[in-house]
Structure 1
Amino acid sequence: MKIGELASKAHVNIQTVRFYERQGLLQDPGRTESGYRRYAEAHLKQLRFIRQAKALGFSLEEIREILRMKGRGQCPCSKVITLAERHLHDIEEQLRTLNSFRLELAKALEQWKASGANQVSADAFCVLIERATGGLK
């Protein structure tokens, strides 16, 4: 199949296909006599894998490493598990940070509402933000 058909089936754009080729994530396709790239079903599977891995938070470097291991005949499962555990930990940390920020923002909002300052000036508003954040430095 040609690059446009591959991109369409994989739900990516043509530039993404070319980028993944340049990055070594997608195997080089064969070419027709006139120089057009010819992709096989294996390329489509590989593109779908890359998209799924990205959706799970894997970086392109991590995906490249997984694909290299697979290409060498190694089972990348233990590597994938290690990476997934690290990503899960990172996500949990981000959620804790976001929840803390949400609580701070809700508290500040309640304080602003309680102050009866529905029509605050820009200067007063900035003071409210500084007070709410404890004057972050």
Structure 2
Amino acid sequence: MIKNLLKSVFALSLIATFFLSCKDTASNVKPDNLKETSAQIQKTNAVAIKPETTSFKIEGMTCAMGCAKTIEDKLSKMDGVQKAVVDFDKKEATVSFDASVISTKKLIEAVETTGDGATYKVAGMNTKS
């Protein structure tokens, strides 16, 4: 009798564990994750569109991690930007982007408003299709 009771308790605990461990993962999606997923989809879909590439000098950078990396991250996360690389040694950024989504003016604005909004200046923009 005790064996049957133990088997029943064990079976019930397995069933309870199964039902309690199955969570609705859709409710865990946060708006930030949706934006990131949207940007990833856009970048994937943008492969079919020939991106424009622009390069420009950035004046005011004093370090590779605090300045160049921060600007590169900001540019990379913008809608329409497929790839952004900021070379601290050359004081230059190269950005591949979809011109139907974002303009070079917005890229300049993003760089020049990074930090305190007065440190970085863009010069010598050269855009190729």
User: Which TM-score applies when normalising by structure 2?
Assistant: 0.24
Which structure is higher in helix share?
1
Structure with greater contact order relative to length (CA < 8 Å, sep ≥ 6): 2
- Which TM-score applies when normalising by structure 1? 0.23
